Amino acid sequence: MYLTGFANDKDQCFVVDASTRKPFTSSTANIAAERDYNKIEAQGVPPDALEKELGKFEGVIAPGIKRVRETASFGGNGKDREDIINLINLITLLAVRNPRTRNDMDKLYTELFQAMAAMPFEDPARWDAVVEQLKTAGQWPEGAPVDFEGHKTFVEDNKYRLKPHQNFTLEMELRATERM
């Protein structure tokens, strides 16, 4: 919706492919869209809840973009100040919540998760300490095996399956947006 504020009278925007740096024009319907990009997976929460909330923001920002385009100014009255704040929020969202940044952050978190999963297996004594802490906290399943080699092999065989969940990624993006 807000993209129409940047479009020409044919509903097209000037676009630059970030990877190839090639410019082109495209209709607003064909850019900046990815299926399930904002999908939430949580019991009792509609999968499109975040998308709907972002849609509300787009509804607020679109008229402000139009006003700025029409006047070529942010002016100085109260509505203009609100437009400036909304545009800054939009720029922040776009800086944090985009496929390239998401991919980079997912890669970082994946590597972090893999390193954390491997830590208890640096030596058997460390593994024994971890198991004891989990048992003391009531977090180790009753009767579950505690063998060092078996668990180490399991983690090594499955470390490439460790990756951040979509909900985690969305939460980290929104937290980063708040800080900016």
The whole-number average pLDDT for the span 118-125 is 95
Q: Which two tokens stand for residue 128?
A: 């024994």
pLDDT tens digits, residue range 85-102?
888 888 998 888 888 899
How many percent of the chain have pLDDT more than 70?
Answer: 94
Residue 1 has pLDDT above 70, yes or no: no
More confident residue, 131 or 86: 131
pLDDT value for 73: 77
Residue 140 has pLDDT above 60, yes or no: yes
Residue 72 has pLDDT above 90, yes or no: no
Q: Which two tokens stand for residue 149?
A: 């080699």
Average pLDDT, the chain: 88
Whole-structure pTM value:
0.69
Phi, psi dihedrals of residue 25, rounded to the nearest 5°: -110, 150
How many percent of the chain have pLDDT more than 90?
Answer: 47
In angstroms, the CA 89 to CA 178 distance is 9
Phi, psi dihedrals of residue 27, rounded to the nearest 5°: -70, 155
Contact 65, 145 (CB under 8 A): no
Phi, psi dihedrals of residue 139, rounded to the nearest 5°: -100, -5
Residue at token pair 């972090």? 112
In angstroms, the CA 119 to CA 167 distance is 25
pLDDT value for 19: 79
pLDDT confidence tier of residue 173, bands split at 50, 70 and 90: very high
pLDDT tens digits, residue range 44-59?
999 999 989 988 988 8
Q: Which two tokens stand for residue 23?
A: 């410019």
